[in-house]
Structure 1
Amino acid sequence: MQELISRQLVRYLEERGVEHVFGLCGHTNIAVLTELGKSSAIRFVNTRHEQIASHAADGYARMTRKAAVVLSHLGPGLTNAATGVANAALDSIPMVVIAGDIPSHFYGKHPHQEINLHADAAQWEIYRPFVKRAWRVDRPDLFPEILEKAFQLAESGRPGPVLVSVPMDIFSKEIDTALFERLRSHTKQLEKPSIDDTLARRIIQELLDAKQPVIYAGGGVILADAAQELAELVDHLGVPVAHTLMGKGVLPDDHPLILGMTGFWGAQFVNEACLNADLVLGLGTRFAEADCSSWESEYTFRFPGTRLIHIDIDPAEIGRNYPVQIGAVADLKQALKVLNRVAREMLPQPRRNEPLRERLAGQRSAFSSGNVEAIESDAFPMMPERILSDVRAALPRDAIITTDVGWNKNGVGQQFPIYEPGSILTPGGYATMGFGAPGALGAKLACPDRVVVSLVGDGGFGQNPALLATAVEENIPVVWVVMNNCAFGTIAGLQKAHYGTTTGTVFAKDGKPYTPDYAAIARAYGAEGVQVQSASEFKDALARAISSKKPSVIDVLMRNNPVPTSGHWNILDIYSPGKKISHVSVD
C-alpha cells in the first residue's frame, strides 16, 4: 500500500514512543506539522525561535534519557537551532533533528533560503562538525532506513544529536508502507558493553591496595543511569568521590563520602584530595579543562605520579588528556554492576572508613561556614549566596534545577546541594548562555509531577524571553529565577580585574545600571511575574510561584560579586602573566 511519507513518519514516531516534538514551522516542514496535528499521541511543542526548541529538546532528553526530536525549517531555521544542537552534542545528549530542505528538483538553482555559497544542496554540512552523523535523504524509499539508523546512532555508544535533512518534496511523496513496517522487527535498543571479571578484579585490587584512592565521576555516570551502582561501590569500598561539573548529583551532596566539584570553581580541599591521591578511578569523564585546572599538575591532578584507571563509553576520551594505567571501554552501568559483584567477592564486609568520613564532614562544614555571612545577609541587591540558599530551602529534595552560564552555574556547582542524580541540568562542554531557561521547559514536560526551577542570569534570560509564549500556550509551569546583576557578570568581573574596565560586559544607560523589568515582560506574555524589592521577600515569592503551578518569573537584583574560588584557570595567566589575579566584584 502506498502512503504519504509525512503520515508514515508520524506513525513511526508514535510507535517509537515519541510523545513530544519540539520545533518551529517553515514552508519545508508543514506537511509533517499537518500530520502531527492529527496525532493523539504526540504533542508538538511550538516555539518562537529554533534555539528555544533545541534547548528544550535537550532538557527533555536529559530527563527521559531517550532521543528528543526537533523539527526544523531549512536555512535560518537550521542555523538558529544549531547552537542548541551543538550544546547537546558536547554534553552527549541524544537528539534527532529532522529538517526540511530545498526541493530535490531545485538542486543547483539556489532556491529560496538555501545555503549554497560553496556547494549546491548542502545545508546538512553545516552540522557536520558537531553531530554524530548528518544525512541528506536523496530518495524517498531510503527515508525509513535512514530514520531508523538516526535514532539508533543518537542513543547508542556515546549519545549525541544527529541530523536528517529531508527535501520538502520527499515529505509529500508516497512510498510503500512495507518499507516502514519492516523496521518493526529491528531492535530499538542495542545491548551495551561491559567488562569481564578478570579486569574487574584488577581494578578492585588496585582500589583496595591504594592508600589514598579517589573515584572521579563525570556526567557519563548520569547518562548511563548508573548513580545507584556507583553509590553501592562507594559504600562498600569506603572510597571518596569527587566529581566534574556535569557529574554533580551523581551522589547526594549530603553523602558522607562526597568530596565535591573539582577545578577552577572547586573548593581547595577537593582539589587537594585529588592532587594527593595515589590512585584515581575516572568514570564517564573527559577530564575537561575547567574541571582539571587547565591540566596543570600543581592544582588538581598529577598524572603521572598519581595512577589513573579510566572507564568510558567513548574510547577517544581515554588517554586524551592524561596517561592511563588501565583503560576500559564500557557502559558505566554494566561495568559498575560487575565491579560491585567482584568487590563483594573480594571484600565480603564493607569498609566503613570512619576517620575519612569524619574528616570529610569537617572539611565540608568548614567550607560551608565561609559562606554563612553572605547567606544570612539582608543586603539588597541580594547576595548570590543567599539567593541559592533560599532557593534550596524552598524546594523539595527531588526538584529539578536548570542553570545557565555565570554565577548560576559556577556557584550552583560549588555550593548548591543536589540530592537526586540527574536533577541538575547545566550546559557543560559548550557552556551555552541561553540554555537554562528553555532547557527547563523540556525538563518539566518530561517530569510534569516534579518542581522545576531555572536559575538563570539576566544575560541568559534576556536572550530568548519568547520562551514564555511557549510556556503559557502549553501550560508548562516552570519557575524562572532571574539572578539579575545588570551584566554579563562573570566576564565583567574578569575584565575589571585584568583590564580595569567593563566595556561591553555591563548593562547601563546614562551611567546607571540598566535592566528590563523581566517580571513585567512575563506578565505581558501571560505568565506570573514578580520583581523582588528586598531580600526578605524572595523566599516567600518563590514559594508562592511554586505553589501557583503557573509559569512564573521572579526577577531579583543581585550583587555582582564573583563566585569564591581558590582554583586555577590558565586564561588568568594569559590576561595577566604571573600576577595571580582572578575575578573582582563589579558595582
Structure 2
Amino acid sequence: MKKLISEQLVEYLENRDTKYVFGLCGHTVIAMLDALEKSEKLKYISVRHEQIASTAADGYARATGKASVVMCHLGPGLTNATTGVANAQADSIPMVVIAGDVPSYYFGKHPHQEVNLHADGSQYEIYRPFVKRAFRIDTPELFPEILDRAFRLAESGRPGPVLISVPMDMFSRELDTRFFERVQNNNLKTIRPSLERETAKKIAKLLVEAERPVIHVGGGVILSKATEELKELVEYLDIPVSRTLMGQGALSDRHPLMLGMTGFWGTDFINDKTSNADVILGLGTRFAEADSSSWYKGVTFNEDNTKFIQIDIAEEEVGRNYPLEIGAVADIKLALQEILKAVKEISGPIERKGLKEEIAKFKHDFKEANKKIENDLRFPMTPQKILKDVREVLPEDAIICTDVGWNKNGVGQQFDIVNPGTIIHPGGFATMGFGSAALLGVKLAKPDKKVITLIGDGGFGTNPSVLACAKEYNIPVVWVVMNNYAFGTIAGLEKSHYNHNFGTVFKIDGEPYNPEWADIAKGYGIKAKKVKSAEEFKEAFEEALNSNEPYLLDVPMENIPVPTDGIWNINDIYTPKDNVFEGHLMSGEATRSSHVSTD
C-alpha cells in the first residue's frame, strides 16, 4: 500500500510518542502542515520566529530527556533557527530539525530561496558546524531509515541536534508503507557504555586514598540522570562537590558537601578547595573556560597539585584541558554505579573531620555578607533582592529558565537549587533570548510544574513575539524581566576597562529608554504589570505565579556586579598585565584579585 510521505512521517513521530512539533510555516512545508493538521496525537506549535521554535524545542528536550522536533522552511527559515539549534549543540541537547528544501528536480536552477553559492541544493551545509549530522533526502525510499538514524544519533552518545533537509516534493510523494514499517520495528534505545571493572577499581582506590579529594560535576550528571548515584558516592566517602554552571542541581545547593560553582563566578573558598585538591574526579564536564578561570594555573585548578580523573560520554572531551591520571568514556550514571561497587569493596564509609562544618561556615558567612543588599528596599531593585523574593515564593520543584547576565551568573552563584532539572541555563552558547522561549517548551513538557524565566531586558528584547505563542496556545508561564535598561554585563565590562558604556546602554537624549514591556505584553493579550517599588514585587510575583495564565512582570533593576573571585582572560586582553601573555602566566602566580568585574 502507498501513502504520502508527509502522512507516514507524522505517523512515525506519533509512534515515537512525540507530542509536539515546534515550527514556522513556509511554502516548502505546507504538505507537512496538512499532515499535522489531521493528526489527533501530535500538536503543532506555531511561532513567529524560527529561533523561538528551536529554543522552545530545546527547553522541551531538556525537560523530557527525549529528542524534540523542529520544522522550518528553507533559506531564512533555516538560518533564523540556527542560534537555537547551535545552543542545543553546545549544551548537548537532543533535537531533530526537519527543514523544507527546494524541489529536488530544480537543484542548481536557483529556485525561490535556494542556497547554492558553492554547491547546488546545499542549504543543509549551513548546519554542518553545529549538528551531529546533516542529511538531505535524495531518495524517497531512504527517508524512513534516515529519519530513524537521525533520532538515534540525536539521543545517543553526547546528545545533540541533527538536521534532515527535505526537498518539498518529497513530502508530497507516495511511498510504499513497507519502508516505514521496517523502521517501526527498530529498538529506539542505544545501550550506553559503562566503566570496565578494573578502571572502576583504580578510580575507587584513588578516591579512598586521597587526602583532599573533590568531585567536580557538570551538566552531564543531570543529562544522564545520575544524581542519586552521585549523592550516594559523596556521602559514603564524605567528598566535597564543586560544580559548573550547568551542573547546578546535580547535588542540592543546600547539601552539606556541596561547595558551589567554581571559576570566574566562583568564590575564593571554592576555588581554593579545587586548586588544592590532590584528586579531582570530573564527571560530565569539559572543564570549560568560565568554570576553570580561563585555565590559569592555581586559580581554580592546578595540575601540579592534582591528579585528574575525567569521565564523559564524549570521547573528544576527555583530556582536552587538563592532563589525566585516568580518562574514561562512559555514561555517568553507569560509571558511578561501578565506582560505588568498587569503593564499597575496599573501604567502609569515610568521615573527613571538620569538612562539613567548614563548608557550612563558608555558606553562612557568604549569605550573611549578602543579607544587607538582598533586603535593601531601594528602587530600582537590587538583583539580590529580586532573587531572594523569587526564592521565597517559588516552589522548590518549579522550573526556572535563565538567560544571560545576573539571571544566569548570579543564580548560579547565589540561588539555591534543591532538585535536579529545576534550573535550565544557556551554558555553552550563553544565548540572549534563550529563557523567554525555552520556558514555553519546558511548560508543555511539564504542565503540572510552575515554570518561569528570569531574563534581562536585553535578552527579552531580542524576540518579544514569544508572547504571541504563549497567548495562542495558552501556555501559563511567567516572564520576570530584570530591567536595567542595558546589556548590563557588557556595559559593566566596558565601563571597567574603558570608562564608558558606548553601545551597551539604552538611552534617548541621555535618559534611560526601553519599550514599556508590560504594555507590549498587554497588546499581545498577556497579563502584565510594571513593578513600581521593591515592596510591591513579591506580591506581584506571587499573583503572576498563581494566575495560571501567561504573565509578564517588568522589574526595574539596578545594574550592579555579580561578585567575581575567579579570573577571566578577557580582562587581561582588555587591560594587559606584564606577567600574562596569551592566557599564560610568564612569571609569578595569578591572583584572584586581578580580575575586573564584568556585570
Q: Match of 1:507?
A: 506
1:164 equivalent to 2:133? Answer: no
Give the secondary-structure state (helix, strand or coil) at the position aligned to 1:370.
helix
> Percent identity among equivalent residues?
59
Aligned: 1:575 with 2:589: no
Residues 14 and 41, structure 1, Cα contact 8 Å, conserved in 2: yes
Q: What is the Cα deviation at residue 5 of structure 1?
A: 0.1
Spell out, residue by residue over 1:258-295, the C-alpha distance to the aligned partner (whole angstroms, 9 max, x if none): 00000101111111100010100000001100000000
Amino acid at match of 1:402: C
Task: Give the alignment of 1:58-137 within 5 angstroms.
Answer: 58-137=58-137
Give, in whole Å, the separation in 2 of the partners of 1:582 and 1:337: 42
Show the counterpart of 1:24. Answer: 24
1:38 matched residue in structure 2: 38
Separation in 1, partners of 2:240, 2:63: 27
Letter in 2 for 1:552: Y
Q: Deviations over 1:304-349 (max 9, x none)?
A: 431001100011111111111101100001111111222222224x
Q: 1:133 to 1:304 in 2, by over 3 A?
A: farther
- Partner secondary structure for residue 40 of structure 1: coil
What is the CA-CA distance between 1:516 and the residue it aligns to? 1.1
* Aligned amino acid, residue 583 of structure 1: S
The answer on whether the counterparts of 2:568 and 2:595 sit within 8 Å (CA) in structure 1 is no
Q: What amino acid does structure 2 have at the position aligned with 1:276? A: N
Q: Distance in 1 between matches of 2:5 and 2:492?
A: 53
Q: Secondary structure at the match of 1:37?
A: helix
Q: Secondary structure at the match of 2:354?
A: helix
Q: What is the alpha-carbon distance in structure 1 between the residues aligned to residue 21 and residue 232 of structure 2?
A: 37
1 CA distance for matches of 2:353 and 2:16? Answer: 49
Moved more, 507-516 or 110-119: 110-119
Q: Which residue of 2 aligns with 1:238?
A: 238
Deviation at 1:581, TM superposition (A): 5.3
Whole-angstrom CA distance in 1 between matches of 2:89 and 2:164: 15
In the alignment, the residues of structure 2 paired with residue 547 and residue 239 of structure 1 have an alpha-carbon distance, to the nearest angstrom, of 40
Q: Which residue of 1 is the match for residue 557 of structure 2?
A: 558
Alpha-carbon offset, residue 172 of structure 1: 0.2
Instruction: Determine the structure 1 residue equivalent to 2:470.
Output: 471
Instruction: Tell me how far apart the structure 1 counterparts of residues 144 and 440 of structure 2 sit (CA, whole Å).
Output: 30
Separation in 2 of the partners of 1:581 and 1:312? 31
| Preserved contact between residue 311 and residue 327 of structure 1 (Cα < 8 Å) | yes
Answer whether contact 1:496 1:583 (CA < 8 A) is retained.
no
Contact 2:299 2:567 in 1 (8 A): yes
The residue identity in structure 2 corresponding to 1:302 is N
1:270 is aligned to 2:284: no
Superposed displacement of residue 369, structure 1: 1.4
Partners of 1:192 and 1:315 in 2: CA distance: 13
Q: Which residue type is aligned with residue 409 of structure 2?
A: N
The residue aligned with 1:307 is 307
CA drift of 1:114 comes to 1.1
> Could you give the per-residue CA deviations for residues 24-74 of structure 1, whole angstroms, max 9, x where no partner exists?
000001111111111111111110000000000000000101000000100
Distance between the aligned counterparts of 2:133 and 2:499, measured in 1?
45
Which AA in structure 1 matches 2:171?
A: F
- Name the SS for the 2:449 alignment partner: coil
Distance 1:306 1:521 in 2: 54
Q: Is 2:265–2:563's contact at 8 Å kept on the other side of the alignment?
A: yes
Contact 1:530 1:555 in 2 (8 A): yes
Residue 417 of structure 1: aligned partner: 416
Whole-angstrom distance in 2 between the partners of 1:243 and 1:165: 38
The answer for the alignment partner of 2:322 in structure 1 is 322
Helix, strand or coil for the counterpart of 2:189? Answer: coil
Q: Tell me whether 1:374 sits opposite 2:388 in the alignment.
A: no
| Secondary structure of the structure 2 residue equivalent to 1:583 | coil
Deviation at 1:353, TM superposition (A): 3.1
Distance 2:183 2:80 in 1: 32
Matched-pair contact (CA < 8 Å) for 1:304–1:323: no
Q: Equivalents in 1 of 2:47, 2:136: separation in Å?
A: 25
- CA offsets per residue over residues 88-135 of structure 1, 9 Å max, x none? 001000000000000001111111111112211000000000100000
- Where in structure 1 are there 5+ consecutive unaligned residues? none
2:133·2:162 contact (CA, 8 Å) conserved in 1?
A: yes
Task: State the Cα distance separating 1:509 from its structure 2 match.
Answer: 0.5
- Cα distance change on mapping 1:584 and 1:274 into 2, 3 Å: closer
Tell me the SS of whatever aligns to 1:35.
helix
- Supply the distance in 2 between the matched residues of 1:298 and 1:319 (Cα, whole angstroms): 18
CA distance in 2 between partners of 1:332 and 1:317 (Å): 14
- Residues 277, 305 of structure 2: 8 Å contact kept: no
Per-residue CA deviation, residues 386-431 of structure 1 (Å, 9 max, x unaligned), is: 0011111111111101000111111011101101111111111111
Separation in structure 1 between the aligned mates of residue 128 and residue 207 of structure 2, nearest angstrom: 41
SS in 2 for 1:28: helix
After superposition, residues 186-265 of structure 1 pair within 5 angstroms as 186-265=186-265
> Quick check: 1:219–1:247 contact (8 Å CA) kept in 2?
yes
**Distance across 1 between alignment mates of 2:346 and 2:538:** 50
Question: Matched residues in 2 for 1:229 and 1:110: separation?
Answer: 55
SS at match of 2:372: helix
Q: Measure, in 1, the Cα distance between the counterparts of 2:246 and 2:255.
A: 18
Displacement after TM superposition at 1:508 (Å)? 0.2
Report the number of matched residues.
584
What is the Cα-based RMSD across aligned positions, in Å?
1.0
SS of 2:130's partner is: coil
Aligned to 1:293: 293
Partner Cα separation in structure 2 for residue 335 and residue 503 of structure 1: 50
**How far, CA to CA, are the matches of 1:453 and 1:474 in structure 2?**
17
Q: Alignment partner of 1:128: what SS?
A: helix
Q: Shift of the alpha carbon at 1:584?
A: 7.1
Which residue does 2:355 correspond to in 1?
356
Q: Is the contact made by 1:457 and 1:485 (CA closer than 8 Å) also made in structure 2?
A: yes
Q: Which residue of 2 aligns with 1:401?
A: 400
Return the TM-score normalized by structure 1.
0.98
- Aligned to 1:126, what secondary structure does the other structure show? helix
* SS at 2:129 equivalent: coil
Residue 525 of structure 2 is matched in structure 1 by 526
Distance 1:106 1:363 in 2: 66
Hey, what's the Cα distance between the residues in 1 that align with 2:474 and 2:249? 28
Distance verdict in 2 for CA 1:504–1:295, change over 3 Å? same
Alignment-derived partner of residue 49 in structure 2: 49
In structure 2, C-alpha distance between the alignment counterparts of 1:328 and 1:578, rounded to whole Å: 37
Distance 1:512 1:354 in 2: 57
Q: What letter is aligned with 1:399?
A: A
CA contact (8 A) 1:561 1:584 kept: no
Structure 1 distance, partners of 2:378, 2:215, is: 40
Match of 1:544 in 2: 543
Secondary structure class of the residue paired with 1:490: helix
Cα gap change, 1:547 to 1:446, in 2 (>3 Å): same
Letter in 2 for 1:209: E
CA distance in 2 between partners of 1:473 and 1:234 (Å): 46
Tell me whether 1:4 sits opposite 2:13 in the alignment: no
